[in-house]
């Protein structure tokens, strides 16, 4: 079959809009590669309703396949509605976290033919095979469709048992005008259950790893193609210290020369400081870590399973091993700790720490999460304008402060935590310019945005949207 796969062209993406250009969602590339391996003709593009016709004319697909996160769902929704009207013969399918959890609403909004609930690499080719045989309503768990007044195949989210042999993502999957940079996935899922994160709900706590040998051979192949810098998309690359140490062994033994960034956790860093030194020696240049809050009760409620002492220790280790580190902070807790005093206490905590980069977001109840279910049950979700689920808006009703006050606090918190660094801002900026984490142009945008929103009371979120 001829399949056109679409990653939404978004102006939304929070601080990501400081990066240039759009990115094709990695999950979509995996399902594209799986379909290609099953013998289908696939092309991946970035599009929205305004330019989709151009691509439909160019590629003449029989099936449109889409992916999105919650904040970009409105883009694919509008695209689907238009395609259903203008090209009623075209079959359509959508997947990703948002579609998985909100499949009923997605169908009602768009009339999409199929919704993939879960991982698509196995079930998508199965659906394609059935469609080629003329069977439009196959029994494939996770490949949801609506027929005779009810949904079929929707009982559970499908997760693969084994991710050792994921399909290979190659340059030729994407249309020539879009940029390509390989990302590495060594594991999927996460054994933790943070209340605000949709990973645990999506993967039901399942955590699967690929062998070091397979991951290294994939990296070697990408190096041969001319790539040197890789981003591990694992939710937490370092969960399994034995795996990570073995990875470092193999990279050292084979003398491989590349750089990589990854995500980790405070507790893992505290338990394995030497492992992080080894990771730096094998090319790790950026580690991102969620702290979220310095208020013990909030960490507890979030099931973050870390404490303030560990946070301080992990920061010391990161500063010592000499890697660039990026920490996440959340404004808001969703419960009685949403007061001016506690929010102030959290900002002061972050100001007091010798952190590297800090990314601050407003607590957002993503569908499927414990937080979403709790706030929904308490009738405290303010609205379902999904484009505002971008971690820059407060979409829930806080208990002890107004949602607008939390939103106004975001740029102020940024200014305060960065200015609190004092002279340490200078080496941080030099480091970020050197490793291209931030370019002079992006820095100028960031300073201008923070300055204008802070002193001229402009809307921070609008300032961050990408120009068309
Ligand atoms: C890396 C990453 C990014 C990168 C994306 C880079 C890229 N090229 O993909 C960057 C930094 C750009 C990013 C930005 C954002 N991200 Co992000 N990101 C991730 C992360 C850590 C990994 C994504 C990934 O590659 N996953 C691996 C792939 C294989 O999994 P997948 O996407 O779910 O795809 C599988 C299935 O869902 C399904 N599937 C998906 N699409 C389709 C389509 C079809 C047709 C089919 C059949 C199946 C299918 O099959 C796929 C293969 O198994 C995830 C967490 C996670 N583990 O998913 C968060 C995550 C996706 N991000 C999230 C968020 C909130 C954001 C931002 C909104 C944050 C912000 N404001 O800055 C932006 C949105 C940007 C945008 N415009 O889309 C949330 C989304 C929650 C939600 N419900 O919306 C997640 C889940 C993190 C979390 N813990 O909550 N992100
Ligand atoms: S926030 Fe990180 S540690 Fe917590 S469940 Fe999500 S991926 Fe796992």
- What's the CATH number where 327 sits? 3.80.30.20
Q: Which domain holds residue 8?
A: 2-152
**Ligand 1 and 390: CB distance under 6 A:** yes
As given in the structure block, the two tokens for residue 318 are: 């990161």
pLDDT at 467 (0 to 100): 46
- Enumerate long-range contacts of 390-395, CB under 8 Å, 24 or more apart: 390/12, 390/13, 390/14, 390/71, 390/364, 390/461, 391/14, 391/361, 391/362, 391/364, 392/14, 392/361, 392/362, 392/460, 392/461, 392/464, 393/362, 393/364, 393/461, 394/332, 394/362, 394/363, 395/364, 395/365
Q: Contact at 8 Å (CB) between 269 and 318?
A: yes
Please report whether residue 32 resides in a domain.
yes
pLDDT at 18 (0 to 100): 44
Q: Rounded to an integer, what distance in angstroms lies between the CA atom of residue 256 and that of residue 217?
A: 11
Q: pLDDT per residue over 298-330, tens digit each?
A: 999 999 999 999 999 999 999 999 899 999 999
pLDDT at 437 (0 to 100): 62
**Ligand 1 and 199: CB distance under 6 A:** yes
Number of domains forming the structure of the chain: 2
Q: Which of 130, 152, 174 is the last residue of a domain?
A: 152
Q: Are residues 201 and 316 in the same domain?
A: yes
Q: Are residues 227 and 108 in the same domain?
A: no
pLDDT at 179 (0 to 100): 83
| 298 closest CA partner among 349, 332, 267, 326 | 332
Please report whether residue 452 resides in a domain.
no
> The pTM is what?
0.94
Q: Rounded to an integer, what distance in angstroms lies between the CA atom of residue 317 and that of residue 202?
A: 32
Q: Rounded to an integer, what distance in angstroms lies between the CA atom of residue 409 and that of residue 361?
A: 11
DSSP state of 23: -
Ligand nearest to the CA of 367: 1
Ligand nearest to the CA of 75: 1
Q: pLDDT per residue over 90-148, tens digit each?
A: 999 999 999 999 999 999 999 999 999 999 999 999 999 999 999 999 999 999 999 99
Q: Are residues 96 and 237 in the same domain?
A: no
With a cut of 50, list the residues of the chain below it in pLDDT.
14-21, 467-468
Q: Contact at 8 Å (CB) between 11 and 466?
A: yes
Q: Closest Cα to atom 33, ligand 1: which residue?
A: 96
Q: Are residues 226 and 317 in the same domain?
A: yes
Ligand 2 centroid to residue 136 C-alpha, Å: 37
Q: Contact at 8 Å (CB) between 264 and 288?
A: yes
pLDDT at 157 (0 to 100): 98
Q: Are residues 341 and 288 in the same domain?
A: yes
**Ligand 2 and 190: CB distance under 6 A:** yes
Q: Which of 133, 152, 171 is the last residue of a domain?
A: 152
How far from the centroid of its chain's Cα atoms is residue 462's Cα? 21
Secondary structure (DSSP) of 294-321: S-HHHHHHTT----HHHHHHHHHHHHHH
Q: Rounded to an integer, what distance in angstroms lies between the CA atom of residue 113 and that of residue 136?
A: 9
Q: Closest Cα to atom 77, ligand 1: which residue?
A: 13
User: CA neighbours within 13 Å on the CB side: how many for 133?
Assistant: 8
Ligand 2 centroid to residue 80 C-alpha, Å: 31
**Ligand 1 and 235: CB distance under 6 A:** yes
Q: Closest Cα to atom 55, ligand 1: which residue?
A: 235
Helices and strands in the chain: count of H runs, count of E runs? 19, 15
């Amino acid at each position: 079959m001829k399949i056109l796969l679409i990653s939404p062209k978004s102006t939304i993406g929070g601080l990501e809009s400081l990066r240039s250009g759009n990115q094709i969602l990695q999950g979509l590339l995996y399902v594209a590669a799986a379909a290609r391996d099953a013998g289908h003709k696939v092309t991946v593009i970035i599009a929205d309703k305004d330019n989709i016709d151009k691509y439909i004319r160019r590629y003449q697909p029989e099936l449109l396949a889409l992916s999105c996160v919650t904040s970009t769902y409105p883009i694919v929704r509008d695209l689907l509605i238009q395609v259903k009207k203008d090209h009623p013969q075209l079959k359509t399918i959508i997947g990703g976290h948002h579609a998985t959890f909100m499949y009923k609403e997605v169908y009602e909004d768009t009339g999409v033919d199929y919704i993939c609930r879960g991982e698509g690499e196995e079930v998508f080719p199965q659906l394609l095979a059935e469609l080629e045989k003329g069977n439009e309503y196959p029994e494939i768990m996770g490949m949801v469709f609506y027929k005779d007044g009810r949904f079929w195949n929707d009982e559970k989210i499908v997760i693969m048992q084994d991710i050792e042999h994921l399909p290979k993502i190659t340059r030729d999957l994407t249309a020539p005008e879009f940029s390509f940079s390989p990302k590495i996935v060594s594991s999927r899922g996460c054994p933790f259950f943070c209340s605000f994160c949709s990973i645990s709900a999506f993967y039901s706590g399942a955590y699967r790893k690929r062998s070091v040998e397979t991951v290294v051979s994939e990296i070697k192949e990408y190096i041969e193609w001319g790539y040197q810098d890789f981003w591990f998309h694992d939710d937490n690359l370092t969960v399994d210290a034995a795996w990570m140490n073995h990875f470092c062994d193999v990279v050292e033994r084979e003398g491989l020369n590349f750089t990589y960034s990854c995500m980790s956790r405070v507790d893992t860093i505290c338990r394995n400081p030497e492992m992080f030194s080894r990771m730096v020696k094998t090319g790790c240049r950026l580690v991102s870590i969620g702290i979220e809050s310095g208020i013990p009760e909030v960490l507890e409620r979030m099931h973050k399973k870390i404490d303030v002492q560990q946070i301080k220790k992990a920061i010391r280790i990161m500063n010592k091993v000499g890697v660039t580190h990026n920490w996440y902070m959340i404004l808001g807790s969703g419960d009685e700790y949403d007061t001016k005093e506690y929010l102030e206490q959290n900002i002061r905590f972050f100001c007091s720490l010798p952190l590297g980069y800090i990314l601050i977001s407003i607590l957002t109840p993503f569908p499927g999460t414990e937080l979403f279910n709790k706030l929904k049950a308490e009738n405290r979700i303010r609205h379902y304008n999904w484009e505002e689920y971008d971690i820059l808006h407060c979409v829930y009703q806080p208990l002890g402060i107004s949602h607008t006050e939390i939103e106004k606090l975001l740029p102020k918190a940024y200014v305060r935590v960065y200015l609190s660094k004092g002279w340490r801002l200078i080496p941080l900026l030099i480091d970020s310019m050197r490793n291209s984490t931030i370019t002079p142009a992006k820095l100028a945008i960031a300073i201008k945005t923070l300055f204008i929103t802070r002193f001229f009371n402009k809307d921070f979120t609008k300032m961050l949207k990408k120009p068309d």
